[in-house]
Amino acid sequence: MSCKELLPVLMSVVLMIVLPACESDTDNPLVPVEVESITLDKNSFTLAPGDSVQLIATITPAEATDQKITWTSGNLCIAHVDSNGWVKAMAKGDVTITASARHGSRIAIATVVIRCVSASAQMIKPVSSYKLQYNGHAYIIVNRPSTWMEAAQIAADSSGYLAAIDSETEAHQIERAIVKSGFAFTCAAPDGGGARYLWIGATDSHQEGSWYWSSTLSPGVSTTRGPCEYTNWGINSYGQRIEPDNYPSPGPDGLVDQDYAAIALDNWPNGKQYQWNDLNGFNKLAFIIEVERQ
């Protein structure tokens, strides 16, 4: 066999040896590099309700195979955290924000202390509130957009609670006060038919369908002062009581229940002006504080 004839045979043999070796290297997956630790750039800090700050998490080693970080809040009523580590304060209180790696056993923790400025300094000013005296109680209509939890906290800081309406007569007194206040209320609730509303103290956040009046507020938690024996839920044009319907609506971290009551300032498909609707507590609305013996 001549050299020219032998060369193709030799090349074929070489390829048969080299190619399987290359395929073998490619088919073997890389050995995963596990997370050894995770640290945050902050361990504790203070925010006022409505403020936001971003936490930065660092995984060690930097070449770890899985770089995914899961963020969680210990109390969504006090603070939320998104998938990028942005923390938003919702109400006064202490809450733990946790960043964890996928492997789970190595966790870094930051404690967020939410600071709430006193109601007298932050909220209750003559230009933003109107006071009604009725039956030994003061009713303060506050025209500042707030979530239900923010409003409840401000009410507690004012030695009161979000209004608890126990009779039709009391409801009519509040309706007249709303008119007399002269406020141009502008905050509407998208999950309430686009109508404008005022927060009151009724909630079924403790048990779905059992409506109670909230009272004082400990950090991030409302307590109850009794069941809602009088109610004025929305009735549609056919005379059917549709509300409360607990219709799921968008919140900061997905769909949430409608666990908080508000007085409508406009007609909406399921009710009329001054009737009540259950809403997503993250709506920013004006509200009514009730204070005893004022």
Q: How do the pLDDT tens digits run along the chain, 294 residues long?
A: 555 555 555 455 444 544 454 444 444 456 778 777 788 887 777 777 777 788 888 888 888 888 888 888 877 777 888 888 888 877 767 778 888 876 645 555 555 565 544 334 344 443 367 888 988 899 999 988 899 998 998 888 888 899 999 999 999 999 999 998 888 888 899 999 999 999 999 999 888 999 999 875 544 444 557 889 999 999 998 999 999 999 888 877 788 889 999 999 999 999 999 999 999 999 999 999 998 864
Domain positions in the chain are 37-114, 119-292
Report pLDDT for 251. 76
Report pLDDT for 224. 59
- Report phi then psi at 169, rounded to 5: -60, -45
Task: Please state, in angstroms and as integers, the Cα–Cα distance from residue 264 to each residue in 44, 68, 207, 245, following that order.
Answer: 40, 44, 23, 15
CATH of domain 37-114: 2.60.40.1080
Q: What is the largest CA-CA distance in the chain?
A: 119
Three-state secondary structure call for residue 230 = coil
Put residue 16 in one of left, alpha, beta given phi > 0 → left and psi -120 to 50 → alpha: alpha
- Mind giving me the DSSP string for 199-234? EEEEE-SSSTT--EEEEEEETTEEEEEEE--S--B-
- Any idea how long the chain is? 294
Report pLDDT for 8. 55
Question: Which CATH fold would you assign to the domain 119-292?
Answer: Mannose-Binding Protein A; Chain A (3.10.100)
Confidence (pTM): 0.58
Report pLDDT for 101. 76
Q: Do the two domains 37-114 and 119-292 of this chain adopt the same fold?
A: no
Q: What is the CA radius of gyration of the chain?
A: 29
